Every structure is written in structure tokens, then in C-alpha cells.
Amino acid sequence: MPKITIRPQRVSDAKRFFDILQNPNFKYFNCSAKTVEDERKWLKKTKEKAKSNFEHNFTILYGRKVVGGIGFKINQHRKHIGELGYFLDEDYWNKGIMTRAVRQMERLGFNKLGLVRIEILMQPANIASEKVAKKCGYRKEGRMRSVVNQKGEFRDCWIYAKVV
């Protein structure tokens, strides 16, 4: 099996990300990009967001192929907390790729970003994301009501967390 690595996102990832995120089977991930150019514009802000410790976004590589994205949104009131979000090309689901990418992000978050707590929020029907959280040792803390706005509808999420 090829090596799983993460690297900072690049503007050149835009077309691949856009193609992955246009998959109609992505029911639980909000993507605001309507065009590849929208995705490029979003990716151009990546370095600035990291520099201001707002978001830290990475590309997931399977060997040399871009297969997904993963990143932290830093809680701006409690900067020791990072919310971890991720997406993966459907062709690579159920191969353990996301579990390995999450573990790499944990090391980055706890060791380099100084996080004390990492949270993963997922809609209750998102069984795959819940499996990743459990495999990586996150604990389910409860249900957050009406926390995610998905296409104008507020939805509940499970919150899983891991602390140092």
C-alpha cells in the first residue's frame, strides 16, 4: 500500500479538490465552492489563515496522488482547542487512509500547534466519520443540537474529543 502523507494545501490542488467535493455522495461535508476558480480563491487564503492561527489545512496524499483534505479550525476564544475536519475521495473510502491522516494531524496539533484538545464533529448518520474518531481514540461527549448549517438547515452533530 502506498504511503499516506499530509502536506500544506496548494492552489494547484484546486481542480482535484473541486472534483472530489462535487461527488453527490458527500452528504455531510459543506463545500461552498461552485467553480474551480472559487476553490482556487479559497486555497489562496490558506497560508494567511495558518499564519493568523485561524485554520491549518493540509492535503492528504496516497503515494503521490491527492485524495483528500484535512485541517484544524482553531477556536478563536479558546486557542488550545482545534476542530478537526476532513474529506476523502470516495474511491479511497474504507482503506484506513483517513485514520492515518487523522493521527498525523494529531501529532501536528498537540506537538506543534500547542493544542490541548482536538474535537471532531459529525452528523449522527455519518457512520464512517464516527468509525475514524473511535479508531483514533476519540471519546464521544454528546450530541450538539442545531450546530451545523447545511444548505440552510441546522443539524445536530455528535462531538468526539481527545485531550492531551
CATH code at 37? Answer: 3.40.630.30
| H or E segment to which residue 17 belongs | helix 14-21
Cα(130)–Cα(136) distance, rounded to whole angstroms? 10
| Closest alpha carbon to 132 in 73, 65, 66, 86 | 86
pTM, rounded to two decimals: 0.94
Where does 81-147 have alpha helices with state H? 97-107, 127-135
Name residue 163's beta-bridge partners. Answer: 117
Q: Which domain holds residue 141?
A: 4-163
Asked whether 157 and 145 are in contact (CB, 8 A), the reply is: no
Contact status, residue 62 vs residue 6, Cβ threshold 8 Å: no
What's the number of domains the chain is made of?
A: 1
Q: How far is CA 7 from CA 1, 19, 71, 87, 107, in A?
A: 19, 19, 11, 15, 13
pLDDT by position in tens, the chain (length 164): 789 999 999 999 999 999 999 888 877 766 778 899 999 999 999 999 999 999 999 999 999 999 999 999 999 999 999 999 999 999 999 999 999 999 999 999 999 999 999 999 999 999 999 999 999 999 999 999 999 888 788 999 999 999 99
- On the CB side of 105, CA atoms within 13 Å amount to 32
Widest distance between CA atoms in the chain: 41
Write out the three cell numbers for 102. 487523522
H/E stretch holding 82 reads strand 81-88
